[in-house]
Amino acid sequence: MIKQVKIPNDMQWADIVDEIEMDVEDTDMILWVGSADGHYAMPWDSFKRLFQDTEYRVQGGYCALASDLVVVLTDGSWYEQADNGYLYHRWPPQLQLNYRPFEKVVGQGSSSLGELNEND
């Protein structure tokens, strides 16, 4: 007999395979799923088969998703977990033809490099 655990309503849970399938428009583009450092990896089909019914708590704590889990796509972009527990699509930085050097990297609050150096 399988014992089921009642999940309190104030905890938000998600199925990892369902979340990836909702976030990635075309799962055929998934190159691999694993750790951000690349030491652990497996093809999407293997990941999907192994973790089909695996739930995690979105806000972390007990049953939290591995913090370094990434879903790498064939176009060089990837999905990673942010501090809030949700997966976000990230693109590698692209050097622009009209790039400029900068002099400031520290400022008030969470300013961007552009905001810090806009008067230079």
pLDDT at 71: 96
Has residue 3 got a pLDDT over 50?
no
pLDDT at 100: 86
* Cα gap 35→57, rounded to integer Å: 19
Check pLDDT > 60 for residue 2. no
| pLDDT reading at 5 higher than 70 | no
Q: What tens digit of pLDDT does each residue of 39-54 get?
A: 999 999 999 999 999 9
Spatial CA neighbour of 69 closest among 40, 42, 34: 34
Of the pLDDT bands very low, low, confident and very high (cuts 50, 70, 90), residue 120 is low
Per-residue confidence (pLDDT) for residue 6, from 0 to 100: 44
- Dump pLDDT digits (tens) for 57-114: 877 777 788 889 999 999 999 999 887 777 899 999 888 899 888 888 887 776 788 8
Of 49, 39, 17, 43, the C-alpha closest to 28 is 43
What is the pLDDT, as a whole number, of residue 31? 96
Over residues 26-38, the mean pLDDT reads: 95
Q: How many helices (H) and strands (E) does the chain have?
A: 3, 7
In this prediction, residue 1 carries a pLDDT of 43
